[in-house]
Copies of this chain bind each other. A is one copy, B any other.
Amino acid sequence: MRMSARSIHETLERLAALLRAETRRLGKPEGLQPVQIDALLYLDHCNRYSNTPQAVAEYLGSTKGTTSQTLKVLESKNLLAKAQDQRDRRVVRLHLTSKGRTLATTLANLPLLESALSQDSLDAESLGEELGGLLRALQRAGGFRTFGTCRTCRFLTPAEGGLLCGLTREALRLEETQQICREHEEPRD
């Protein structure tokens, strides 16, 4: 039984539709759209190099203009605050408010997905591996940014007294290495 690209395409589309509907359901009490929730979760999980409108746009696969509106909504709901970067004054830094952090934590786990993953027939471990592999393959095929964490980044370099980002030459706290980074790159074979 050969597994065709079309059948995988179909399955992915069904998964995406279900996930989207569930996200919509979950965001409804807060008056949040799926895209707004995606942005919120990203900002809750990205590092200090990656909390800009541009990065959000790339992560969501959207344009700057659309993302700007999405962020405006989150700001108007007091879920995030904007601040001008001091080094590069074109750049806006996005920080979740405590209300935003709380909401992100709530929205991060989808009940539907939780209960699906807890079923005996599923091995979350190998599922995660396969999904991750597909994502990396797609990103490689399309030349997109990978948005991974330091753990799998080719720039991560051990130094005396801790870890270092080889790109910025800055020291990284341990928690930071588990956050999503816009500059993440896979090791070269």
Interface residues of A (CB under 8 A from B): 3, 5-22, 38, 41, 45, 59-62, 108-110, 112-117, 119, 121-122, 124-142, 144, 147
Instruction: Contact check, A130 vs B126: say whether CB atoms are below 8 A apart.
Output: yes
User: Whole-angstrom distance from the CB of A38 to the nearest CB of chain B?
Assistant: 6
User: Whole-angstrom distance from the CB of A64 to the nearest CB of chain B?
Assistant: 14
Name the residue among A19, A60, A113, A121 with the largest chain B CB count within 10 angstroms. A113
Q: How far is the CA of A13 from the CA of B114 in the complex (A)?
A: 15
Write the chain B residue with the least CB distance to A16: B16
Instruction: Contact check, B141 vs A61: say whether CB atoms are below 8 A apart.
Output: no
Knowing A19-B16, A131-B12, say if A121 contacts B137 (CB, 8 Å): yes
Other A-B pairs, 17, CB within 8 Å; known A15-B15, A18-B61, A126-B130? A3-B129, A5-B113, A9-B113, A11-B135, A12-B15, A15-B138, A16-B19, A17-B59, A18-B142, A21-B61, A113-B138, A116-B134, A116-B140, A119-B141, A122-B134, A127-B130, A131-B131
